Amino acid sequence: MKHLLDSNTLIVAKNRYYGMSICPGYWAWILEQHQALEIASIVPVRDELARGNDDLTQWVKGNAHLFKDSSDEPTQTAFGHIVAKIAEQVPVMKAGAFEEFLEGADPWLIAKAMATGAVVVTHEVYNPDIKRKFTIPNVCSLFGVPYMNTFELLGKLDARFVLHH
């Protein structure tokens, strides 16, 4: 797996430009790219998405193989490094930002990317001045973990959604 999907990439795709009923090719493409070992996500992302009650929730539950375990030792070690590093920034961040970050899937996604050499795919944007929350790109940049958005991923993997009549 070379690219790890953040939950927001799937949520935004479903809600906006790749609705499940209007662009089923996008969702099939994700599964094809998973088979080709290009795309995956992690169990904590699956668990976040599985709390919903919509088409995406059903898709996630039906494609559990897309979501990799994050309890392996290299990922756990990387997670520890992330916690230690961002703990240093707590004094300059909004109260509760550290705890909020650790409660979600984001630190695990970054840790899995660190452990496997993967690229994190997210719609979050790098902003070194943000103080209200820890974002994936900001934390990735602290560790030299590459990240990109969905559209960069589609271009990199030469995605094609073609109508056949």
Q: What is the pLDDT of residue 102?
A: 93
Residue 163 placed within a domain: no
* CATH number where 152 lies: 3.40.50.1010
User: How many structural domains are present in the chain?
Assistant: 1
Q: What is the pLDDT of residue 142?
A: 94
Q: What is the pLDDT of residue 8?
A: 95
Q: Packing angle between helix 7-15 and helix 55-62, nearest 10 degrees?
A: 130
Q: What is the pLDDT of residue 128?
A: 87
Residue 8 placed within a domain: yes
Residue 81 placed within a domain: yes
Residue 26 placed within a domain: yes
Residue 78 placed within a domain: yes
Residue 36 placed within a domain: yes
Residue 10 placed within a domain: yes
Q: What is the pLDDT of residue 165?
A: 72
Compute mean pLDDT per 10 residues along the chain, 165 residues long, and list them: 94 94 95 96 96 93 96 96 93 90 95 98 93 94 96 95 82
Segments forming the whole domain that contains residue 150: 3-156
Report strand pairing: 67-68 vs 39-42.
parallel
Residue 74 placed within a domain: yes
